[in-house]
Amino acid sequence: MAVGIFDSGLGGLTVLDAVQKRLPDVPFVYYADSAHAPYGVRTADDIYDLTTKATQALFDAGCDLVILACNTASAAALRRMQEGWVPEGKRVLGVFVPLIEALTERSWGDNSPPREVGVKHVALFATPATVASRAFQRELAFRAVGVDVEAQACGGVVDAIEDGDMILADALVRSHVDALKRKMPNPDAAILGCTHYPLMQAQFQDALGADVKVYSQANLVAESLADYLDRRPEMAGAGASKFLTSGDPRQVSQRAVQFLRREITFEAA
């Protein structure tokens, strides 16, 4: 039917917006598990159970390809899903791959030994669960050497954004950047390792300083998906786009406006 995009809440709408602009003819089904957000403070088993349930709902809606536009799900559940859960003929992709490709300037299929890359000191801002998984560091180590990664668990930021409290989100971002810089005073680059965080990219950039390159995932994921569908056009599907949520559709629809600045109507999943 369409390409599925899953997020624990509304943060994945930043990815949806980018992929719709890049691939205007591809239909998407977006699933927000708002009843269980945020995922970032949950256990790995809990995240896996919730992610597989939501992904199955997208498969049931006719999607053959599902993008986990949730870094926490990508970090804590994706590998386990791909190793023993994803049904034949279906595909589940995460958001780490295009980020690692951009950071290391090498394609995912490049299996040559790890080598030095352009950055040496990387700040990773992510949810507590993503930080605990060390998935980013593991995948980076397969491809690069000599990169020091300092991770900062940004508790409370997702909750504030989901609640629409951008003043609190701003204060939390600056507090977490201060905490990171006490551990790594001069990062070369910063990773916004949560799809909610692009909404606060200006605040992250301001707190980090203009000389720090900030990597945000939405456009990277859009380009990666476009490349994937060029190679696997049968996965694009057909049909109409729609929005599903496990939460209150009316409330989620209202909050979605602040993410995309346009009217969105969610249906009950």
Question: Out of 2, 47, 70, 157, which one is annotated catalytic?
Answer: 70
- Say which of 15, 69, 194, 208 is annotated catalytic: 194
Q: Residue by residue, what is the 3-state secondary structure of the chain?
A: CCEEEEECCCCCHHHHHHHHHHCCCCCEEEEECHHHCCCCCCCHHHHHHHHHHHHHHHHHCCCCEEEECCHHHHHHCHHHHHHHCCCCCCEEECCHHHHHHHHHCCCCCCCCCCEECCCCEEEEEECHHHHHHCHHHHHHHCCEECCEEEEEECCCHHHHHHCCCHHHHHHHHHHHHHHHHHHCCCCCEEEEECCCHHHHHHHHHHHHCCCCEEECHHHHHHHHHHHHHHHCHHHCCCCCCEEEECCCHHHHHHHHHHHHCCCCCEEEC
| Annotation marks residue 63 as catalytic | no
**Where in the sequence numbering do the catalytic residues fall?**
70, 194
